[in-house]
Structure 1
Amino acid sequence: MKVLVVGGGGREHALVWKLGQSEKVREIFVAPGNAGTAVSAQNVAIKDSDIDELLNFAQEKQIDLTVVGPEVPLALGIVDAFQAAGLLIFGPTQAAAQLEASKAFAKEFMHKLGIPTAVSQTFNDFEAAVGALREAPLRDGIVVKASGLAAGKGVVVCDDVAQAEAALREMLLEGAFGAAGAEVVIEERLSGPELSLLVLTDGKTAVPLSPARDHKRAFDHDQGPNTGGMGAFAPPSDIDNALIAHIMRTIVQPTIDGIAALGTPYVGVLYAGLMLTADGPKVIEFNCRFGDPETQVVLPLLASDLVELMLACVNGRLTPEMVKIHPGACATVVMAAPGYPASYPKGLPITGVDTLPEDVMVFHAGTTRQNGQLVTSGGRVLAVTARGDDLETAVSRAYVGVEKIHFDDAHFRTDIGRQQSAYAVAGVDLKAGNRATTLMKTAVHSTFGPEVLSYVGSFGGLFDISASKVMDQPVLVASTDGVGTKTMVAAAMNRWDTIGHDIVNHCINDILVQGAKPLFFLDYVASTKLNPEQIAEVVGGIAAACREAGMALLGGETAEMPGVYQKGELDLVGTVVGLVDRAQIIDGSRIADGDAILGLPSSGLHTNGFTLARRALTGLAWTAVHPQLNDTIGNVLLTPHRSYLAEVQALQNAGIDIHGLAHITGGGLIDNPPRIFPAGLGARLRRGSWAVPPIFKLIQQHGQISDEEMAHVFNLGLGMLVMVSQAQVDLAVTTVPQAHIVGEIVAGNEGVIFE
């Protein structure tokens, strides 16, 4: 047989290599080919997009089978043209190839058939697309895709609506991808490990090849810009036969059947790019040809004759039994030109390719020969490939090959095939958790006194309460709370050194109002993706606040929960345990008509009202100094919650008989004080008797919020109210000069009234 391979990259070299192993094949031509294909086949100087010239060549040379590598000739209708001329060709027709050539078509097709994929909408009008984004922004991020073929560059993954709008502007208004971007698909951002599954099909039967996983990012640890692929390996250890069977049943076969029902049977190879989400496998995209670099690991694992399989597909007689897979694993490492995927030089001399061990293969991609010298001619230059009994062996052999090849400033990743644990693949990085623990140890230890009997990393915290023996009836007092959406402000400002103080001081105040002295604290920090340095900064703030209060940070939990929280944000919760002698409990029962109400000033919003505040302040610059604040909005909002432990202890040490304490948190000045009032008593607060911080006036002004609602949501400058008898007011104000007389207890009203 004479075979024509259309294309000129690493994928096509791998196809030539595999096709050449068939006893049926006598001669292989490659159009246009590269320096690697020229060794075992005959290169033909015809562009892969020149359908007429390719057809003329195939007819002239009496080609028995044509194999199409890239997507462009498929979209241009090469299969239709060859079939019309009576020539055998492996690949889908132009109509079937719409699964790749038009993302809009593919999404509509999948939605109609119920094939699991990301929720999406299609637009060709900029204003309509932006309007849809603003009405229903997708929580976990947005993906904007050019509907047409854009050489793998037409997909933009966006963290927020602003980025998505910029991508839409580039595609729809600025024509960044030409006709390919005249229609766009906006879809939800999926999360989870990716999987490449290539299947052979004759239009009815579909049979999978070995599953594979590629590395798309340019740099190690999946950092840097996306590329065409920096390497791949097969099979991934987290993929079993049951999952493949599920994908074939729910995604692949419905796709093959659905295309056939449209009157355009799909024949060739279908490449399903999948995301293994928490809800099961979902289609990211379909490709209508062999993947690159997946082909370079899938074909070496194929034990069957590829020509026989392709003929079976073309002639409608494919069966599962025909596909045999070698045991073991395969890995390929892409060596790229310096600068790839941005601009890169060409013509760099390549050496060492002829010195590789027998168990290493090299597939050429961007190579040519100049005056007999092998040189670079593209971004991705070579794919160095090896098999092994296991993945570790295959990877090791591939890197041995990489070490023997040289061209100036060759770039390659050093972590290809270094699989994460199944837990990490699912989104939980145990190493990040351990690193966070290491970074925070010193801060946590700094809070320990002789009462702490355990250390960081213990399953539980041990605390010696022998000090309680001096009390007649020691009572433990505990409280748990969080900092709410103040964490969203911290995320917006990328500043994490204050919210640790917030949670500690908030919890201290909650037990202080009952007269308790704090003993120890426990924290809970959770996020979608652990950032060890970020967590350490938060816990560092917690530890600092604990030291200031003289209590131990006894333990805590750091949780990574993919999909629960929004990217870049975290949740922070704390629990404090304190001690008070039963006779010294402050419960408000001794509050009496006529008692004075002293107000201790707040430092700002503390930890409540941030949802309303963020809405009210939207549109203002948070990082520039605001004239009403003499500071930035961001800094003012992140001012830590104030602890009143020192002031209350000072009052108690001065002999002040505190009748009641009210911590002004959620519910503001309206709901919090009555929580401690005896029946029949209320409070009268005198406006103007304390200073209201400017931030509250700014929120009220820009949010157009009534006085009543402001008092119902915010502390308005009063973080703690202290109820004492009129006889002790002067001593109290002398003891704590920052305290102000802001009102009094009145009978006949059980709420709070303002004068």
Structure 2
Amino acid sequence: MAKVLVLGSGAREHALAWKLAQSDLVDTVFINPGNGAPFPKPNDVSLDAASILAFCEKESINLVVVGPEDLLYKGIVDEISKHIRCFGPTKEASRLEWSKANAKSFMKSVGIPSAEYRTFTSINDATRFIEEISWDGIVVKASGLAAGKGVAVARSREEAIIAAEEMLQGKFGEASNEIVVEEMLIGEEVSALCFTDGITVVNMPLVQDHKRLLDGDEGPNTGGMGVIAPIHHFGATIWEQIEGICKRTIEALRENGICYKGVLYAGLMVTAKGVQVLEYNCRFGDPETEVLMRLLNSDLYRILLACCEGTLEQTSVQWSSNYACGVVLAASGYPLSYPKGNTVTGIPESNQHTVVFHAGTKQLGNKTVTNGGRVLCVTSTAPSMNVARQRAYATAEGIHFDGKFYRTDIGLKHCLRNTIAYADSGVDINEGSLLIERIKAICDRTKLTATDYIGGFGSVVDLLCAGFGNSQIVIGMDGVGSKIAVADEVGDRRSLGYDLVGMCANDVLCHCSQPLAFLDYYVTGRLRASDAVVVIESIANACQTAGCALVGGETAEMPGVYKADQWDLAGVCVAVRDPNWPLLPLKERISDGDVLIGISSSGLHSNGFSLVRKIFERNHIRYNEPCPWNNSTTFGEELLRPTRIYVKSLLPVLQSRIVLGAAHITGGGLKENVNRILPDGIKAVIDCSSWQIDELFQWLQSVGPVDACEMMRTFNCGVGMVLVTMKENASAVMRLLNEHDEQSFVMGRTQKRSKGEDQVELVNLHKCFRGKYSPSCAKKINVAILISGTGSNMVRLIESSLKPMSSCRIAVVISNVAGAKGIETARDMGVQTAVIPSKGAPSREAFEELITKELETRGVELICLAGFMRILTATFVKRWAGRGRLRRDNRSSIGSRL
């Protein structure tokens, strides 16, 4: 059996040791100098070649694995590999990392794509260059090793000059005696690691590191605050480019007489022009290694030996199909100064889902204490990234030390890539747009001289042109859609008439017309007069609000076509307009620099309900539950708020001749409606941070989760109408709207549109949705479940706690029976467990004292007895009744609470 020595002291080294120890060929794994991880550490063995070789000879070490980059720079592999197998590249091969200037020169010479750059050792030369270049963004890097912190992404020339000056004046010591100034690349950053024996290259799954200290990729650079893998969404073309870069790098080094053995780690930017290399690292990344080791199904010891011996081509390297998320727990003050010696508690035992790797820790007696900036890395795996994140964050919450800090958004962007979209609910906006394009020609065959084109909000009929007088009529037709299904489930149809009339009347209003008459179409599989009269009365009330008459309609009973409980609703609005009123939109007058004014909606109105229903179904939420932002209102009441009818408030504004166009924001959101009033050569640039987005939309986006762009393409997001006006008229328009009790705001500008550009451009999308209701942001109650047997009820409680809307997290499952099957089940579900045997305890009080200590350590606030076959003393119950809550599992409300 083999013995392995891993050099280093971080979570990376713990992860490597953890994986190496799983090999059936390995007996012992040492880590030097190590940390608080439960692996043996050599006593007083310094990190120089002579000391390491002496220890290797004494302990009969078969393989040395080098972790940190500074040891590669010192040439440790060159010396050790003369005597023992040593995994890692030589000093000359690792020059790709310890000299960024050399790496840039290498890439340019061998045709590996990378950003434009220059290198400098003089402040004056660097300053002069930065002042003269015309790059959109500038990055300044220390050429040498700076622990992952020697990169400054400048927001301006001034920032770039300051960064260059600080580095060349010794901010990173010798590492910044030379700097690289390069063009900032725009795209998505990923890490590509591969094993190599100098000839064969085997890529690992793509990884995404989170370098910045704070949520939203804000704050200073760090060694890494979290990581996820694998990254799948790029597609085959990008993956082929990445593989090609790794293979070309190893091949080009070999052509230059350098045999690179070990791990090559390429930091990449996937840009619109393809993949480009940001930098090379010549070792396992940290924290990338922590998640990669969780996903590696093959024997790491065999792989590392094959790299050393040149037999990688014959070695199997297999990866799990799961996802992995790693969350770094850091000490307060990191990456600058931070305290050491704080006690760490709550680190769980490893299970198949979650492993906590030690980084800046050490053991003091039987205690683990902090001993670095990055203290621990919590890693969890699952079949989906969402669940992997939930498991990692649930564990992170249960670990305690003074000053604990971690990012709450690791992997969140990736999860949003896999979010629910409108098409997932069975509604395809693109297919609807395609239908309109295909039927335009059919409709054009029926067009008369007096009638309008298809594709507007309504159709204008010129009666004078048709020989019937001097007026024009505008006709609009619409339906209520799947909001009907929500109304049925809630049992309240009283608002649907406002939705039907509002959808039609607001459409014809966009052409500056006054609704005059309305007709409805009510169809069902079985007519119930009591139901129909509620809807028709609602339509009549809405017609009065719009200033038009309900002149007729059709009520159809169609058994066999519709089921008995199925029904639908549609309507037609006929409006009239004076030919002296402006015929909107005035496309010929809309130009560069006009102002976009938004008018607030009254909620969802009547669009996007298929997606709404999908979100509620997927998250097991009922419409009668209270809204988290307003406990006095249910979801059903909020969703069924009637469509706002703008006719009486907006028509006078449109008649004033200072508005150039009006867009009713319905299905397709801002993207698919504002474009309908713009000329081809003009685009709308909408600042999504310019209005307050209602809590309902914030909640839908978080809980779905729904991508921000998809939100804007599906819902009105708080904007019921958009007006276009000249800049000099914007104040007058908003004043008139205010006089008619409409809330309005400037939301963007029009600009010239280049060929191929979208006609509606949404900016600051990342600022408008705060993620306020995301599971990782909500404060959850810590729950303990006490069991004695199989834990069948426990399973349901755990499953309920994993729902996005759960207000609880299961902190621990405690059993009083050592062999209880429920303990194994809880571990399989990723929940921490504890066994406190009641049998053999000196007394009930002593037994309960042990339980109380475990509960207090976990920060438990709520106890649930799920088949717990022990009678608790009055003292215990009273003690917890004053501090938390004690519930038995026969209360049906416990599931909904969780």
Q: Counterpart in 2 of 1:544?
A: 731
Change (3 A) 1:23 1:460: farther
Residue of structure 2 equivalent to 1:367 = 361
Alignment-derived partner of residue 339 in structure 2: 345
Q: Whose RCO is larger (CA < 8 A, sep 6+)?
A: 1
For the 8 Å contact 1:170–1:176, the answer to whether it is kept is yes
Match of 2:402 among 384, 405, 408: 408
Q: Structure 2: which 5+ runs fail to align?
A: 420-473, 477-501, 515-575, 595-655, 663-673, 675-682, 694-717, 765-898
Q: 2:377 aligns to what?
A: 383
Query: Which piece of structure 1 moves more, 369-378 or 286-295?
Result: 369-378
Match of 2:116 among 99, 109, 119: 119
1:479–1:324 Cα change, 3 Å: same
**Alpha-carbon distance, 1:7 to partner:** 0.3
Mapping of 1:473-552 within 5 angstroms?
478-483=588-593, 517-521=657-661, 524-526=683-685, 531-532=689-690, 543-547=730-734
The DSSP-based 3-state class of the residue aligned with 2:130 is helix
Please list the CA deviations of residues 474-505 of structure 1 after superposition, one character each: whole Å capped at 9, or x if unmatched.
99683233349xxxxxxxxxxxxxxxxxxxxx
Structure 1 pair 20/420, CA: closer, same or farther in 2 (3 Å)?
closer
Equivalent residue in structure 1 for 2:510, among 446, 462, 487: 462
Look up the equivalent residue of 1:93 and give its one-letter code: T
User: Is residue 2:202 matched to residue 1:207?
Assistant: yes
Q: Which of 296, 300, 306 pairs up with 2:294?
A: 300
Q: d(CA) in 1 for partners of 2:583 and 2:394?
A: 69
| Offset from partner CA, 1:649-706 (integer Å, 9 cap, x none) | xxxxxxxxxxxxxxxxxxxxxxxxxxxxxxxxxxxxxxxxxxxxxxxxxxxxxxxxxx
Task: Decide whether the 8 Å contact of 2:734 with 2:745 is kept in 1.
Answer: no
CA distance in 2, matches of 1:356, 1:311: 27
Post-superposition offset of 1:30: 1.4
> Are 1:151 and 2:147 counterparts?
yes
Output one character per residue of 1:682-733: Cα deviation in whole Å (capped at 9) or x when no partner. Answer: xxxxxxxxxxxxxxxxxxxxxxxxxxxxxxxxxxxxxxxxxxxxxxxxxxxx
- Any conservation in 2 of the 1:461–1:554 contact (CA below 8 Å)? no
Where 1:295 maps in the other structure, the secondary structure is: helix
> In structure 2, what is the Cα distance between the partners aligned to 1:460 and 1:155?
56
Task: Specify the SS of the correspondent of 2:333.
Answer: coil
- 8 Å contact from structure 1 (residues 31, 45) kept in 2: no
Task: Flag the 1:60–1:190 CA change in 2: closer, same or farther, 3 A.
Answer: same
Aligned to 2:229: 234
Change (3 A) 1:123 1:388: same
Correspondence for 1:103 among 100, 104, 113: 100
Determine the structure 1 residue equivalent to 2:126: 129
Which residue does the alignment assign to 1:178? 173
- 2:8 corresponds in structure 1 to 7
C-alpha change, 1:199 and 1:480, in structure 2 (3 Å) is: same
2:578 aligned partner, one-letter code: K
Paired with 2:166 and 2:302, the residues of 1 have a C-alpha distance of 46
Q: Quick one: structure 1 residues 35 and 471, their matched pair in 2 at CA, closer, same or farther if it must change by over 3 Å?
A: closer
- Say if 1:452 and 1:554, in contact at 8 Å, map to a contact too: no
Deviation, structure 1 residue 520: 3.0
Counterparts in 2 of 1:576-725, with a 5 A limit? none
* Per-residue deviation, residues 525-584 of structure 1 (Å, max 9, x unmatched): 538x964469999999885343358899999988999x999xxx989xxxxxxxxxxxxx
Which residue identity lines up with residue 4 of structure 1 in the other structure?
Answer: L
Q: How far, CA to CA, are the matches of 2:583 and 2:347 in structure 1?
A: 79
Deviation at 1:291, TM superposition (A): 0.7
Residue-by-residue CA offset, 1:411-457 (whole Å, 9 max, x unaligned)? 112222223467799xxxxxxxxxxxxxxxxxxxxxxxxx9998899
CA distance 1:455–1:301, shift in 2 (3 Å): same
CA distance in structure 2 between the aligned counterparts of 1:143 and 1:390, rounded to whole angstroms = 35
State the partner residue of 1:584.
none
Question: For the residues of structure 1 that align with 2:222 and 2:582, how far apart are their CA atoms?
Answer: 69
Corresponding residue number in structure 2 for 1:61? 59
User: Are the structure 2 counterparts of residues 193 and 5 from structure 1 closer, same or farther at C-alpha, using a change threshold of 3 Å?
Assistant: same
Distance 1:67 1:196 in 2: 21
Q: What residue identity is the alignment partner of 1:546? A: V
- Equivalent position amino acid for 1:152 in 2: G
Given candidates 159, 164, 167, the residue that maps to 1:168 is 164
Between 1:399-408 and 1:279-288, the stretch displaced more is 399-408
How far off is 1:52 after superposition?
3.5
Q: Distance in 1 between matches of 2:103 and 2:340?
A: 36
Is 1:42–2:41 an aligned residue pair?
yes
Identity of aligned residues (%): 40
Question: For 2:97 and 2:192, how far apart are their aligned partners in 1?
Answer: 15
In structure 1, C-alpha distance between the alignment counterparts of 2:53 and 2:308, rounded to whole Å:
18
TM-score relative to the length of structure 1: 0.60
> Secondary structure of 1:319's partner?
helix
Letter in 2 for 1:25: V
Match of 2:74 among 50, 61, 76: 76
- State how far apart, in whole Å, the 1-side matches of 2:745 and 2:138 are: 41
- CA gap of 1:473–1:263, structure 2 versus 1, over 3 A, is closer
Distance 1:356 1:113, change over 3 A: closer
Match of residue 428 from structure 1:
none
Asked if structure 2 preserves the Cα contact closer than 8 Å seen for 1:217 and 1:229, the reply is: yes
Name the amino acid aligned to 1:335: L
Q: Matched residues in 2 for 1:286 and 1:358: separation?
A: 32
Amino acid corresponding to residue 469 of structure 1 in structure 2: D
What does the per-residue CA deviation read over 1:624-659, in whole Å, with 9 as the maximum and x for residues that have no partner? xxxxxxxxxxxxxxxxxxxxxxxxxxxxxxxxxxxx
Could you say what secondary structure the match of 2:202 adopts?
strand
Contact 2:302 2:315 (C-alpha < 8 Å) held by counterparts: no
- Matched with 1:700 is none
In structure 2, the CA distance between the partners of 1:211 and 1:549, relative to structure 1 (3 Å rule), is: same
2:343 is paired with a residue of what secondary structure?
coil
* Counterpart residue identity of residue 39, structure 2: S
Question: Per the alignment, in what secondary structure is the counterpart of residue 382 of structure 1?
Answer: strand
